Amino acid sequence: MINYIWGFFQQGPPVFQSQSALGGGGGTDVWQMMVNAGFVVQLVLLMLISFSVLSWAVILSKFRTIRAAQKQDLEFQEVFWHAGSLSAAFNQTKHLVMSPMALVFRLGYGELGKVMRMQASDGPEQAHIAKGVIENLQRSLNRGMAAESTRLGRAVTFLATCANTAPFIGLFGTVWGIMDAFRSIGATGAANLATVAPGIAEALVATATGLFAAIPAVVFYNHFNRRIQVLEAEMASFTQDFLNLVERDLMRRQGPAEDAVRPGEPRG
């Protein structure tokens, strides 16, 4: 009985034998199909392979960039909220070049220093323009957030382009390949399965390649978008905290000046 079953599998049922004949020795030789495909299909395959290579390059690059940004943001928050002053936080976070929060803070700190030096040169009687300081600082922080959002999102849109266009490019190659297959059938006059199957299989390789390029692109596009949104929300939250911190400090400095009696004014 065992010998009979073993002989059955060695001989193979008719269905398996036909599939082996069509697949070329027990499997689908995809590379051979790509070589034997027509010029247009080969051009489509080359384009899709280029899309796939570029997509994976973008995926690896953005994965490292966003991971470094998240790691350094955590380090920046730890240093910032435990620093004794803004100048100390500025000096201790200079090395965090990949942190969006650190860059936004450096821009805001630089703008705050410029405004405070201008106020000091104008004299203490100009302390009432603290509102203008906050407005200038907020514009600087917003500019920094926009720059960091652009940096983090750079090249991510290529993944969306690849995810949207690669399946249709592959479908175009498939349709063109099937047209060539049926044209060959019409020229030879043979319409059996053995004649039709190889040409159609070669054409379907284009669709499979398009999906191979599109699926990772759409998955990582959504993944990166979500992580970038989290980083942007954390930047916005830090910006508000930083503005509140500066505003409280300015109000504390401004209070005694406003309560004091100016020379020449009556008391009481």
- Look at residue 129 and tell me whether its pLDDT is greater than 60: no
Helices 130-153 and 193-259, packing angle to 10 deg: 170
Better-scored residue on pLDDT, 135 or 78: 78
- Look at residue 208 and tell me whether its pLDDT is greater than 70: yes
**Which pLDDT does position 130 carry in this prediction?**
60
Helices 156-188 and 193-259, packing angle to 10 deg: 170
**Which pLDDT does position 255 carry in this prediction?**
56
Other CB atoms within 10 A of residue 162 CB: 25
Kindly state the average pLDDT of the residues 149-174: 91
Model pLDDT for residues 178-188, shown as the tens digit of each residue = 887 777 777 66
Residue type, 151: R
**Which pLDDT does position 135 carry in this prediction?**
81
**Which pLDDT does position 193 carry in this prediction?**
65
Q: How confident is the model at residue 47 (pLDDT cuts 50, 70, 90)?
A: very high
φ, ψ for residue 65, nearest 5 deg: -65, -50
**Which pLDDT does position 268 carry in this prediction?**
39
Whole-number percent of the chain with pLDDT over 90: 37
Q: How confident is the model at residue 194 (pLDDT cuts 50, 70, 90)?
A: low
- Look at residue 110 and tell me whether its pLDDT is greater than 60: yes
Kindly state the average pLDDT of the residues 32-39: 69
Contact 95, 101 (CB under 8 A): no
